[in-house]
Structure 1
C-alpha cells in the first residue's frame, strides 16, 4: 500500500521561503552594522555638534599659543647660543694670542741662549715686540679697503682736507710716478674725497664723528695733524703696519724698500747731521760748581711726527692712546712735541714711561727740507744722491718747494733749487 507524503508550507512553496530567508539575513546584517557604527561614532558620522566644534577650535588656539611660546623659546635659545659663540670666539682669540706669544717667547728664549752662549760682547737684546691679533670687527669697512690695497699688510696713510688740495695733488702724483700701490688718503671732508675719487686715488671717508669732522673741515694744520693719532689706532687694531705721511712730501723711491721693521716706531728725524739726528753727549757748563762744573747731557733732535712707520704692537697702540689723550687734555700742545715726550721720557716718580722700541731713519734717505736746502743742494757729491722722500717740513712755502724738488730730482733741472733761501725768509 502506498502511503502518501504530507508536505509543510515551505516545502510546498520553495521560492517564497528563500526570499524570506534573505530578508531576515539583510535585517540582521543591518542591525550588526548599526551597532558597530554606533560604537565607533557615538556623535554621528557627520556630526558637527557644538561640543566637538568648540573642542577643535580650542585645540587650534592652543596650538597657536604653543607655537608662539616655542618661537620665543627658540629666539631665547638663539640669543644665548650667539652670546656663547661670541665668548668662544673671544676665548679662541685670547688662546691664539697666548700661543703665538708662547711660540715667540720660545723663539726669543732660544735666541737669548744662543746670544749668551757666544763670546763676550756679542750679547744682543730682544727689541721686536709681537704684533696684535687682527680684529676686523673694529671697522669692517676699513678692513675691506685695506685688504684690497695693502701689500704685505703695510700701507702709506695720509690725512687731508680741502685746505691742502694742491699739495696733496703733488703728493699722490709722486707716489704714482714711483709706482707705489699701497697708499690711502683718509679724507676729512667730502670735497677732498670726491677729488681723490676723480683722480683714481684710494680714499677712505670715515663715518660721521662730530669732534673729528669739525677739526677736519676747519682745523689748523697742527689740529688736523693731531687727529692722526686717533685715526691710526683702527689701522693697527686691524693688524696693519702704517707709514704715516704728511702731504708736504715728495716720493722719489718706494720707502718700503728701505725700512728695517725691527722697532715699534721707525721715524724720520728733524736732525740735520749725525750728531743731531742720532744723538750726542752735550756738556752743560756751570762754573760756580767748581770742579763739578761740567754736567753731561744726552741730546737728540726730535722725531718728525709727519713721517713715521708704526707696527701694530701693544706699545704702538699705547703710544697713540697716550698722545691722543695728552692732546685732548692740552689741546694747544704741539702734536710733534707730545709725540716725542711720550716716546722718550723715562719712567720717574709719578710717571711710567712708554716701553716702545724706536729707530731713527737715515736722514739722507728720508730727508727733511733743512738738510736739502742748507746742505745737500750746495754739495756737488750729496746733490747726486737720490733720497727716498723729501719732507718740506722746515719751510712755509711748501707747494713751491715741492714743485722745485720734482723739477730737480725728476726732470733734471739743476737750477730748480737755487732760487730759494736756506730758511723761511725770502
Structure 2
C-alpha cells in the first residue's frame, strides 16, 4: 500500500495574507486599532446623541442610548450646539410632573417646523432621562437638580427656585453666541412666531394685561402704572445675542437676588416683577419691542374675552394658559378651547406617548368615579330619609 504523505502540524503552517481567514483576521485587527485610537477622542455631541428628532422617526433603541453618566456630563454648551439652527435655540424649563404640558407644547411647535431647535432644561433627573430616552440630546440639566414635586406648584418655594434660575440660563446661552427664545410650556403655538420678530431689537416680549389695546398700539416698553409697575410677561421672551440683551439678563438676575423668596412674606415674589424692574432700569440701554397683543394675547384676555377673541380670530400666534392656577384647571381649560393636542395627536410630539400622562389620566378618572359614587350614595341616603 502506498504511504500517505505526512501532514504538517497546524501550528507550523504559514498564514498567507491572501488566505481568506488570514485576510479577515487582518481586517478585524485594523478595525480594533482604529476604534481604540479614535473612539476616545470623539467628544462631539453629535456623536454622543445621534439626531433622531424628526417627528416621523422612532426613538433610538435603549441599547444604543448613552449611559446615565453621559446625560449627567452633557453640558449646556454641548446641548445648545446640538439643537441650534440658524444660530437660534428655543428653550423651556420643565419639572417631571409637567411633561404632558411639554409634549402638548412640542406638538404645536412641530406643526410650525421649529421643534428641532428646542432645548429642554430639565429641572430634575427624572425629566432629563425621560426626554433624552425619547428624544436623545434635547434635554440638559444644570445643577443643582430641584424637587420635581414642589417645583411645579405656583407660589411655592420650589416654583420660585425654578423660575428664578431662568435669566441665568438665558444669559449663559446668549454668551455662547446664540439667539434664544424662552417659552413656558403651558403655551400653544397657532402660527410661526418668528414671522413677528422683525427688525433687530435686543428683546421681544408679550404684554400680560387683560385690558384690550388698540390694534395699532405702541410697541415701546409700557410706561409705569401709578403703582409703579408694568405687566410685561416673562413667559415668552426672544433675545438676540447682543450686548443689550445680555445687560438685561444680568440686571434681571440682580433684581431676583435682591428680593429672595421668604416664608415670612405675605405675598411671595416671583421672577416676573423682577423682569419688569430690569426692563425699566435698562430702558435707555436696551432696544425693547412689545409684540402685538392680537397675536400674543395673555390667558386672561384670550380665555375670558370672547368678543375680543372673535374680533382677532386668525391673528393669534401664541396663546398662554396663564391667569389660572392649578395643573388640572390648566389642562381642562386647554381642552375646553380645543388647545389640548396630546389626547389625539401624541405621535406628533417628539416624545411620543407618555406613560406618565396615561397614569395621571387613570388617577384622575379614578378620583372622579369615586367622587361620583359618593355623591350618588349621599343622594340615595337623602331619599331614604324622606317621609
What's the TM-score, normalizing by structure 1?
Answer: 0.52
Answering whether residue 160 of structure 2 is matched by residue 225 of structure 1, we say no
SS at match of 1:197: helix
Residue 72 of structure 1: aligned partner: none
Contact 1:158 1:184 in 2 (8 A): yes
SS at match of 2:200: coil
Q: How does 1:139-218 map to 2 (within 5 A)?
A: 141-180=75-114, 181-200=116-135, 203-207=138-142, 209-210=143-144, 213-214=145-146, 218=150
Q: How does 1:5-44 map to 2 (within 5 A)?
A: none
Answering whether residue 200 of structure 2 is matched by residue 262 of structure 1, we say yes
Answering whether residue 251 of structure 2 is matched by residue 322 of structure 1, we say yes
The 3 A distance-change label for structure 1 pair 354 and 342 is: farther
Distance 2:214 2:308 in 1: 19
**Matched residues, number:** 251
The alpha-carbon deviation at position 148 of structure 1 amounts to 3.3
Which of 243, 254, 275 does residue 339 from structure 1 map onto? 275
1:362-397 CA distance string (max 9 Å, x none):
11111211221222x335742632411100121222
1:248-289 CA distance string (max 9 Å, x none):
1011122112212422111011124226974899999xxxxx
Contact 1:369 1:393 in 2 (8 A): yes
Which of 323, 331, 341 does residue 399 from structure 1 map onto? 331
Contact 2:91 2:120 in 1 (8 A): yes
Which of 193, 215, 240 does residue 311 from structure 1 map onto? 240
1:26-72 CA distance string (max 9 Å, x none):
xxxxxxxxxxxxxxxxxxxxxxxxxxxxxxxxxxxxxxxxxxxxxxx
Contact 1:188 1:216 in 2 (8 A): yes
Answering whether residue 176 of structure 2 is matched by residue 242 of structure 1, we say no
SS at match of 1:366: coil
Distance 1:364 1:401 in 2: 20
Q: How does 1:34-113 map to 2 (within 5 A)?
A: none
The 3 A distance-change label for structure 1 pair 334 and 404 is: same
Superposed CA RMSD in Å reads 3.5
Distance 1:145 1:283 in 2: 38
The alpha-carbon deviation at position 241 of structure 1 amounts to 0.8
What's the TM-score, normalizing by structure 2?
Answer: 0.57
SS at match of 2:111: helix
The 3 A distance-change label for structure 1 pair 342 and 301 is: closer
Residue 93 of structure 1: aligned partner: none
Any gaps of 5 or more consecutive residues in structure 1?
Answer: 1-138, 285-296, 347-352, 412-426
Contact 1:185 1:201 in 2 (8 A): no
1:307-364 CA distance string (max 9 Å, x none):
1111112222222222222222321232100111111147xxxxxx762110100111
Higher relative contact order (CA 8 A, sep 6+): 2
Larger Rg: 1
Instruction: Pick the structure with more helix per residue.
Output: 1
The alpha-carbon deviation at position 223 of structure 1 amounts to 2.8
Answering whether residue 294 of structure 2 is matched by residue 356 of structure 1, we say no
Contact 1:187 1:203 in 2 (8 A): no
The 3 A distance-change label for structure 1 pair 281 and 257 is: closer
The alpha-carbon deviation at position 233 of structure 1 amounts to 1.5
The alpha-carbon deviation at position 171 of structure 1 amounts to 1.3
Contact 1:239 1:312 in 2 (8 A): yes
Contact 1:250 1:402 in 2 (8 A): no
SS at match of 2:297: strand
Contact 1:281 1:298 in 2 (8 A): no
SS at match of 1:231: helix
SS at match of 2:319: strand
Distance 1:164 1:408 in 2: 14
Contact 2:300 2:323 in 1 (8 A): yes
